[in-house]
Structure 1
Amino acid sequence: MNIAETHLPNWLQRSADNTPHKIAVSTPEISWSFTELNQQAMQLARQLATLGVRPGSRVALLASNGLPFVVCVHALMRLGAILVPLNVRLTLEEQIWLLRDVEALALVSDLHYQARATELQRALPSLLEATLLLDTTKRQVTLQDISPDAQTRLIDEIDLEAVQSIMYTSGTTGTPKGVIITYKMQWWNALGSALNLGHHPEDDCWLLCMPLFHIGGLSILLKNVIYGIRIIVYEKFDAPLVNQAIQSQGVTIISVVAVMLQRMLADLDSRQQQYPSTLRCVLLGGGPAPRPLLEACAQRHVPVVQTYGLTESCSQAVTLAPGDALRKLGSAGRPLLPVQLRIMAEDVVAQPQQPGVICLKGPSITAGYDHRPDATAATITDGWLATGDIGYVDEEGYLYVLDRRNDLIISGGENIYPAEIEAILLAHPEVEEAGVCGQADAQWGQVPIAFVHLHTGSSLSPETLQAYITPGLARYKLPRAIYIVDHLPRNSSGKLLRRELPALLDRERLK
């Protein structure tokens, strides 16, 4: 292949050239044009070069959502270095393990995580360390006490085959693995998404309140400069703040998971408001969405577009086109243009409506895991990634995601999908969250048990809730017990951690 076919101009530089004065990124503190963002990235790249960062260097980033994180991502691209975003919610020991596993050269943190960065550097003395500073008066991001290397040659082109980042799986099952994310994956993911959702460069504004250390958040940073659109970045999700931005700041697209959307709707209802017509897409991911939530959105004319993806697919792989949102309620849609999809049941391609393992293939799908040849071989066969998720396609090729294979409950030979039971529980107006997992049983092998978190002020009893769900579920799917709890365990991206539900049985929260 000719080298010109695998290289593109730097995406941020091109947006700065084409629309120099257009706002690229906004936060509560600062708004920058594409020109300003580009200048900040080049300046920080020269400081990182002084620190010792070179092409191919693996640089861990420990920072909250904000301009320092955004600038660092683009600065590393200018040096050809590899970004390794650290989950800020991990323990010190987990972060030490990850830094060793990825063989990081340097750790860059913001002020919020400076103390943790010091602990990490103490545990790993060879690790280079630097702190990102945001000066709101000077409107700039810099590395503390590090001068820029003016002689550093910055990279003006993007090699699509190069590694952009190594992103560790959330660890919902087993030991986290470093997923190799290339520029090619980001490029094709962005193109596939735009072809599905539409591309409105003059008007689009994507609100980013997902963690940037997860692929869902990071991929929006790349779409920002590939599309040349504005993004609004919030440090964390806050339903009233998000709703206010949608009402007043021209937000057209937002990415959320189900629990976030539920809180947004509750806040919206408390204000007796509706979303403006400028909001054209609420991209809903993070696992199967409860049908009652989708129906509530349809009643309120909230433009929900379900999507299915994972770190290994560089975020979206399958997305429901806006025109199908009501016709295919509950579906994650059809695969994006670059992605192939098939369902495998017992090593055979499944027929329509037959559940099986969701498998993906295409240029936006990872080629494997960093220094994990066994894990790569176990997951990827002839380019096909076995996701570990269970789903089926209908006669028109629309995907319906049922559950994680590891969350599947097998009771007396029958397959039980926790998400199905959770959806019935969530249909009760007093239930805010629901989680279902399997419990060992001498007779049936496993039986389902449920945990629910009620809305404030509710006195709903497990017995009343059990009676409510009984008409809607086959007998073998009925939970053996329902427990009322204060909260459900979720990871930093909002996904329910069903494997941690049994631990709630041993805690004093149970009522």
Structure 2
Amino acid sequence: MGALFIAATMARRGLLTPGNPVRIVRQFGALGRWGFGLAGELRQAAARSPERIAVIDDEREVTYAQLLRNAEAVDVRAGDRVGLLCRNSAAMIEALVGVTSRGADPVLINTGLSAHQLEQVCEEQNLAALIHDDEFAERVPGGITTKVEMSGGPGRPPTRPGRTIVLTSGTTGVPKGARRPTPGGFSPLCSVIDRIPLHAGDRIMIAAPLFHTWGFAGLQIALALRATIVLQRRFDPAEAAKALEKHRVDALIAVPVMLQNLLDHPPGRKLRVAAVSGSALPGGLATRFMDSYGDCLYNLYGSTEASWVSIATPADLRDSPTTAGRPPHGTRVEILDDQNKPVPQGEVGRIFVTNEMLFEGYTGQNQRSKTDGLLGTGDLGHVDTHGRLYVDGRADDMIVSGGENVFPAEVEDLLAGLPQVREVAVIGVPDDDWGQRLAAYLVLRDGETLSEDVVREHVRRHRARFCVPRDVVFLTGLPRNATGKVLARDLPRNA
């Protein structure tokens, strides 16, 4: 990535402003010694802005100097894998940075895992220790070390920097551990903030769980920007709206369902940035949110393995609310057919991507599946005449009903646009006559009514007959995991 692009982006986002010369020297010295991972980013922030409030959580406020001091007190063995089972808090950040500063590998664990799943993760990831919040004590399997020593901080960087391992979402089976690369310089940060206008010193609420790829990315960006990070242990839309106002938040890092829940309450503080990732934006959500909070919405499409693929700006979403946007600087996206050949513009194919932050493989595996340097996302999509990417659905979600290819996401997005519908999920289910068919699960807004026949007729008017769901089920809520993804396996089956 060009030095001119990096310099221009950093200048636009306030990262090259004048300051105390001694602090600036220490800032860049910290990055030179510790690198661009969490350990280096926290140290550069503490060197440049030690008195700035780094984190505001449910219990305390800590400055960058205090956050670093607490992180340096964490003492684990270099080379070990240490699990973190924590909700969003300053303590989690201190533990995360402390572990990686010692040359150990932190493993970010979903707080929604059952005791059985947690035991499997501890075994499969070969954890030497587990740092956890008190509320999770009963889930911790016997024999795992939970006491981490506290001592003076490391005076020098470890021989081998700690590598963060993020678990896949785990909506089915045991989640796999994906090894995240350490940024090699400023270019990954600039790729994102060039498109999403986050600035140095912003107040950023990270509502997405820090153990989630998007929450973790938000933390990396916030530390690099020397931002003040606002955290809440649990996302509650009413409390989040109050916190936006109370702490004068500039930017929100969230998952789409959180925005949907915010809209059930009176609009809060106008934001400069609301950046979401982790799942598709339901139909109409982008427009409704921007009508309430201003044209501040940015949608990043990516994955644990691919990091980012594309980013949609408010202008993109106003023009086409379902688009995933365009690849940011330094990212290349290709739409390929089953023979790995590019498909014509507008045709659906498999989405492949390359950038400098592709994951390094799953733990226990050295290889990663690539085609000509491109990593498959597992999604199907197409590109329009404006170069905007659209995600048509997961390749393994597409069903064949009576010989026709059907994308559940297409019907899901159509039904989400009904004014009576609060949230919806559409999946494929077995069918004795057609092989597979669609089933729709809808949650209605308070006081609204809708019949199965009206739902089917709406789909029949706007889509082909094989897209009409035979099963229409009304629920009080959709089953979701801790990152807001719908758990298809927990949806009831009518037949």
TM-score (norm 2): 0.86
Indicate the residue corresponding to 2:296 in structure 1.
303
After TM superposition, give the deviation of residue 434 of structure 1 in Å. Answer: 0.9
CA contact (8 A) 2:439 2:471 kept: yes
Residue 338 of structure 1 pairs with residue 368 of structure 2: no
CA contact (8 A) 2:335 2:350 kept: yes
If each structure's strand is expressed as a fraction of its own residues, which one has the higher value? 1
Aligned CA-pair RMSD: 2.5
After TM superposition, give the deviation of residue 288 of structure 1 in Å. Answer: 2.3
Distance 1:353 1:306 in 2: 21
- The one of 58, 65, 69 equivalent to 1:39 is 69
After TM superposition, give the deviation of residue 367 of structure 1 in Å. Answer: 2.4
- The one of 277, 283, 290 equivalent to 2:275 is 283
1:181-202 superposed Cα distances (whole Å, 9 cap, x missing partner): 1212896543321121124214
Residue 10 of structure 1 pairs with residue 51 of structure 2: no
Indicate the residue corresponding to 1:129 in structure 2.
146
Distance 1:177 1:186 in 2: 27
Structure 2 segments unaligned to the other structure (5+ residues): 1-30
Alignment of 1:109-508 (within 5 A): 109-117=132-140, 120=141, 122=142, 125=143, 127-130=144-147, 146=149, 148-150=150-152, 153-156=154-157, 162-173=161-172, 175-184=174-183, 188-202=187-201, 204-268=202-266, 273=267, 275-276=269-270, 279-300=271-292, 301-314=294-307, 316-346=308-338, 347-373=340-366, 376-377=367-368, 379-501=369-491, 503-505=492-494
CA contact (8 A) 2:420 2:445 kept: yes
The letter of the residue matching 1:96 is E
CA contact (8 A) 1:24 1:224 kept: no
Distance 1:27 1:154 in 2: 28
Distance 1:389 1:334 in 2: 16
Distance 1:108 1:174 in 2: 23
CA contact (8 A) 1:407 1:499 kept: no
The letter of the residue matching 2:279 is G
Indicate the residue corresponding to 1:83 in structure 2.
106
DSSP-derived class of the 1:406 partner: coil
The letter of the residue matching 1:465 is V
CA contact (8 A) 1:282 1:302 kept: no
Structure 1 segments unaligned to the other structure (5+ residues): 131-142, 507-511
CA contact (8 A) 1:59 1:105 kept: yes
The letter of the residue matching 2:166 is M
Distance 1:109 1:253 in 2: 28
After TM superposition, give the deviation of residue 245 of structure 1 in Å. Answer: 2.2
CA contact (8 A) 1:451 1:485 kept: yes
CA contact (8 A) 1:78 1:155 kept: no
Distance of aligned partners of 1:103 and 1:87 in 2 relative to their CA distance in 1, 3 Å threshold: same
Distance 1:448 1:400 in 2: 21
After TM superposition, give the deviation of residue 129 of structure 1 in Å. Answer: 1.8
After TM superposition, give the deviation of residue 389 of structure 1 in Å. Answer: 1.1
CA contact (8 A) 1:319 1:335 kept: yes
CA contact (8 A) 2:81 2:125 kept: yes
After TM superposition, give the deviation of residue 163 of structure 1 in Å. Answer: 5.0
The letter of the residue matching 1:349 is P
Residue 64 of structure 1 pairs with residue 87 of structure 2: yes
Distance of aligned partners of 1:259 and 1:185 in 2 relative to their CA distance in 1, 3 Å threshold: farther
CA contact (8 A) 1:78 1:154 kept: no
Distance 2:193 2:64 in 1: 20
CA contact (8 A) 1:185 1:365 kept: no
Count residues in correspondence. Answer: 461
After TM superposition, give the deviation of residue 156 of structure 1 in Å. Answer: 4.0
Distance 1:99 1:255 in 2: 29
After TM superposition, give the deviation of residue 400 of structure 1 in Å. Answer: 0.8
Distance of aligned partners of 1:81 and 1:187 in 2 relative to their CA distance in 1, 3 Å threshold: farther
The letter of the residue matching 2:365 is R
The letter of the residue matching 1:430 is Q
- The one of 46, 49, 70 equivalent to 1:19 is 49
Distance 2:184 2:402 in 1: 42
After TM superposition, give the deviation of residue 460 of structure 1 in Å. Answer: 2.4
CA contact (8 A) 2:284 2:321 kept: no
CA contact (8 A) 1:167 1:180 kept: yes
Distance of aligned partners of 1:367 and 1:395 in 2 relative to their CA distance in 1, 3 Å threshold: farther
- The one of 128, 131, 143 equivalent to 1:108 is 131
DSSP-derived class of the 1:95 partner: helix
CA contact (8 A) 2:41 2:223 kept: yes
The letter of the residue matching 1:28 is D
The letter of the residue matching 2:398 is L
Range with greater deviation from structure 2 (418-427 or 179-188): 179-188
The letter of the residue matching 1:64 is R
Distance of aligned partners of 1:504 and 1:481 in 2 relative to their CA distance in 1, 3 Å threshold: closer
